[in-house]
Structure 1
Amino acid sequence: MSTPIPEIPETGRIAAVDYGTVRIGVAITDPDRVLCSPLENYNRRSPSKDAQYFKELAELERIVLFVVGLPVHLSGDESQKSYEARQFGKWLFETTNVPVTFYDERFTTSMAKDMLQDAGLTKKRRKARLDMLSAQILLTAFLENPNRALGSISGLDDR
């Protein structure tokens, strides 16, 4: 079950996740949340390797919150992909024990595509950067307006 955004420390790194079934874009803030940068695209491998990746990310970067992009329709209604992203968020919390919040990711991919096109990158280089740039755009939006979160998972009562 989702709840409003959990209380989070005033400092500490936040990571955004642009969820995909094949590739996951990851962006991260600095500890003071002044900057957010694309980190990488993680190519999914297996449930155990995915868990190892996210556990290590959470520990090494000292993540205090994950923001998972929630694909919703223009009307604001959720879709099958929204359900999958919420299931991933639940798994992410259970795997890392780091609170997870969901945030509307509408237009992040199209904005990222436009930015990469404007940068004059080749199609191959645009594809290589798309998901992590989408995650950065998502993270920037969250930092600017965290009250627009679409629910969170942050404790045993949420499962």
Structure 2
Amino acid sequence: MGRLPKGTVLAFDFGKKRIGVAVGEKEMRLAHPLMTIHGEMTRQRFEAIAKLIETWQPVLLVVGLPVHADGTEHELTQLSRRFARRLEGRYRIKSVLVDERYTTITAKSALGELGIKGKKQKPMLDQIAAQHILQSFFDGNYATT
């Protein structure tokens, strides 16, 4: 992964209706779910992100890059790339794209193991997926493209 400056990292699981957010400290290499940003309006989303940036002062932003199981891209792949570029341009913080294949599946499984099933998962699912994206980054299991 190379030597990155010490500090906090925020990760995002981008979606059209919700954005899951996770936070972690690079030295400890542990990701924690933080929150889910709800809504489809770009202005509101970036206002919420601006507050997170101000509060956490991250040195790096990680964005999940969704692709099909075989690695081919789809509509959300391009939207996630655009979201990462906008974050970097707006906040002047480097953003890294991380392959997020199967993070929603593993997030659902993790919640299921905690006894949280079905519709009860929905409020937490995106932030748990963001946690898995960030943990994958910390563990070095990522592909930036």
**One-letter amino acid of the counterpart of residue 107, structure 1:** Y
TM-score normalised by L of structure 1: 0.82
For residue 33 of structure 1, what is the aligned residue in structure 2?
A: 28
For residue 8 of structure 1, what is the aligned residue in structure 2?
A: 4
Aligned structure 1 segments of 4 or more residues deviating by more than 4 angstroms? none
Q: Do structure 1's residue 18 and structure 2's residue 13 form an aligned pair? A: yes
**One-letter amino acid of the counterpart of residue 27, structure 2:** D
**One-letter amino acid of the counterpart of residue 4, structure 2:** I
For residue 149 of structure 1, what is the aligned residue in structure 2?
A: 143
- Partners of 2:16 and 2:107 in 1: CA distance: 19
1:40-59 equivalence runs, <5 A: 40-59=35-54
Q: Secondary structure at the match of 1:142?
A: helix
1:92 to 69, 87, 104: 87
RMSD of aligned residue pairs (Cα, Å): 2.0
Moved more, 101-110 or 55-64: 55-64
**One-letter amino acid of the counterpart of residue 61, structure 2:** F
**One-letter amino acid of the counterpart of residue 125, structure 1:** K
- Partners of 2:3 and 2:93 in 1: CA distance: 12
**One-letter amino acid of the counterpart of residue 120, structure 1:** G
| Percentage of identical aligned residues | 32
TM-score normalised by L of structure 2: 0.89
